[in-house]
């Protein structure tokens, strides 16, 4: 079975309902993003980086987006 194409991801604030979307780019599809904390002891849950491998179907190349 072919895998579904994922064009981005969203962060949902469950308290406020606010949704922030990130799109990988035109004709770019990626896998599951991974969060890497900048400081493992930080109390700010957003302090860090999101990494995801993305495939550009037009250029037929892959890239790591941070």
pLDDT, tens digit, 9 for 90 and up, residues 16-64: 999 999 999 999 999 899 999 999 898 888 999 999 999 999 999 999 9
Instruction: Please tell me whether the overall predicted TM-score, pTM, comes out greater than 0.85 for this model.
Output: no
The full set of domain ranges for the chain reads 8-65
Beta bridge mates, 28: 56
Cα separation of 47 and 63, whole Å?
23
Residue with tokens 């980086």: 49
pLDDT, tens digit, 9 for 90 and up, residues 3-13: 789 999 999 99
């Amino acid at each position: 079975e072919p895998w579904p194409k994922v064009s981005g991801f969203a962060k949902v604030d469950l308290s406020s309902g606010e949704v922030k979307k990130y799109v990988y780019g035109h004709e770019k599809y990626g896998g599951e993003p991974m969060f890497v904390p900048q400081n493992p002891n930080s109390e700010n849950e957003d302090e860090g980086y999101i990494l995801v491998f993305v495939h550009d179907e037009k250029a037929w190349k892959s890239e790591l987006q941070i």
